[in-house]
Amino acid sequence: MSAMLLYGATIVTVDRERRIIDDGAVLIDGGLISVVGDSEALLSVTDRSVRRIDCRGKLVIPGLVDAHGHAGHSLIKTLGCDSPTFWMRTVTPAYFHATTPEYWYHDGLVSALERVRAGVTCGVSVMGSRPRSDDPEISLAHARAYREVGIRDVVCVGPAGLPLPHPVTDWSGGVPRRREVGFDEMLSGAESVIETVDGYEGDLTSVFLTPFTIVPSVDPSHPSRPDVATNLTEGDRYQARRIREAAEHWGVRIHSDAFGGMVRLAAKDREYALLGPDVHLQHCTGLSAEEVAILAETGTSVGHAPGGRAPVPQMLQAGITVAVTTDGSSPRRPFDLLQAARAVQAANQLLADDPYLLPPGRLLEMITIDAAAVLGMSDVIGSIEVGKRADLAILDMRKPHLVPNWMPVHRLVYEATGADVHTVIVGGTVVMEDRTVCGVDETAALDEGDRHARLLVERAGLAHHLTDPGWRSNRREFDEPIEVTVP
């Protein structure tokens, strides 16, 4: 990778001093940030052979970090989206019974393209709605797509949650073969992904161990009802122990969903609880004050996406590191972190009747340096500082909605969107320049993505979802009982 100098920019460093440098420059060498300073000074001392990128009228920020999103969703987005319950009951069977590694590869291309075009240089990708780890080829295909686009990918795999064993359909050879997989096979598949993918091609790809929820539950978005929770005690400890042992063996972090009540239940297992500095939890809606305190005491981090009542101000006040995430694209959310940050701010200000909550600088931290910290990566990405990976997003500020070019953090957080990102650099390599992605044929990738999406709809029998024009309410509720098998 060749050296390059970005000059003439307004640089929002998000460094320790939170410096904003007018007419600033960044020298990149060997994939790392070498110097951050004044344009005139750096231009005068930098060798003319170094590539120079004129950034006048542009804003340079750290590459955005999306600490929670989903693989698979980009090619099934909006199907069944009119009810969250219906969405889960639509996409989960589709992922487990109607997909092939080719589907996950083409979905990976589409999602990586969307992310890079929105300035996201590192993103978490949970493999499905409930993580699917029974077939390692799924994760390998997805990771390959992200590497081709050139952005960082955190592949999240692990047991899919109750009921167990879980039915899956294998389409290898074009002939469907249905079978059932248990907890141990799912964990073994996840470990195979870790062994094969983690750290592949330098540090572009990472793997986190991801059980669906931190304690087994018959309800994917809530703890189990009290009348059945007592029967899950053995399963709780079995899952936590096996996840903890595997994470320690492979030296990987843990990511999972948690909802009100689950944190308290998990904390009862002092030895193996899926809580701590190596864990970040998504959602955390409905947490009690006691559970906020547990997260703070254990050093557990949190990712929060728009939607749901999570006690974000209380968590921040308690010293918990919180990242704004997209949860994209599930089921109707783009991978645009700037839009997600505004939505989180608006919701929390409305709930608290306080227009001063989560000021723009705080939101920017929650999608850069704090999001990197949530992933355990704040020493290498998340800010523009000497020695860190050169992961940068350059925004074109010469647009009507971004003029006048003053108060750059306000302009960025309140008015900019992913569509304003002009150029993206990851590890010192330009992966998008002037809105053109460099590593892949974007037109071909989108055409193939559309084709595989329609193949999935046909294979899964979901064509009827495409007939609703969206003019009416389509709320649907399902209350079928769910059988529970403790591993």
Tokens for 126, please give them: 């949970």
Instruction: Please calculate the CA angle 60-206-219 and round it to the nearest 5 degrees.
Output: 105
CA distance 135 to 459: 19
**Helix, strand, coil percentages for the chain (3-state, nearest 5):** 40, 20, 40
What was the pLDDT predicted at 481? 41
Q: Find the mean pLDDT for residues 221-234.
A: 64
Where exactly does CATH 3.20.20.140 map onto the chain?
64-374
CA dihedral in degrees (229, 213, 129, 486; nearest 10)?
A: -50
Which of 41-55, 158-172, 185-199, 460-474 is predicted least confidently? 460-474
What was the pLDDT predicted at 467? 76
**pLDDT higher than 60, residue 365:** yes
CA distance 339 to 292: 26
Question: Residue 487's pLDDT band (boundaries 50, 70, 90)?
Answer: very low
Q: Find the mean pLDDT for residues 409-428.
A: 98
**Amino acid letter, 34:** S
What was the pLDDT predicted at 240? 93
Q: Beta partners for 127?
A: 71
Q: What is the pLDDT of residues 158-210, one digit of tens each?
A: 999 888 899 999 888 778 899 999 999 999 999 999 999 866 656 899 999 99
What was the pLDDT predicted at 471? 67
Where exactly does CATH 2.30.40.10 map onto the chain?
4-62+385-437
What was the pLDDT predicted at 316? 98
Give me the percent of the chain exceeding a pLDDT of 70: 92
Contacts of range 453-460, beta carbons closer than 8 Å, 24 or more positions apart: 453/75, 453/76, 455/103, 456/75, 456/76, 456/94, 456/98, 456/99, 456/103, 457/79, 459/98, 460/93, 460/94, 460/97, 460/98
CA distance 26 to 42: 8
CA distance 119 to 151: 10
CA distance 440 to 182: 38
Q: How many CA atoms lie within 13 A of 355 on its CB side?
A: 0
What was the pLDDT predicted at 474? 53
| pTM summary value | 0.95
What was the pLDDT predicted at 154? 97
Q: Does domain 64-374 have CATH number 3.40.50.720?
A: no
Which of 237-251, 344-358, 462-476 is predicted least confidently? 462-476
**Amino acid letter, 90:** T
Tokens for 404, please give them: 């006048």
Question: Residue 417's pLDDT band (boundaries 50, 70, 90)?
Answer: very high
What was the pLDDT predicted at 152? 97
Radius of gyration of the chain (CA): 22
Fold for the domain defined by 4-62+385-437: Urease, subunit C; domain 1 (2.30.40)
CA distance 267 to 295: 9
Question: Please, which residues have CB within 8 angstroms of residue 452's CB and are 6 or more apart in sequence?
Answer: 75, 102, 103, 106, 107
Mean pLDDT, the chain, whole residue set = 91
Q: Find the mean pLDDT for residues 230-241.
A: 71
* Beta strands per DSSP E along 351-461: 392-396, 421-426, 429-433, 436-437
Q: What is the pLDDT of residues 2-35, one digit of tens each?
A: 899 999 999 999 999 999 999 999 999 999 999 9
DSSP structural state of residue 389:
B
What was the pLDDT predicted at 302? 98
Residue 232 sits at φ, ψ, to 5 deg, of: -105, 0
CA distance 341 to 354: 16
Question: Residue 90's pLDDT band (boundaries 50, 70, 90)?
Answer: confident
Q: Which of 207, 186, 95 is nearest to 140 (CA)?
A: 207
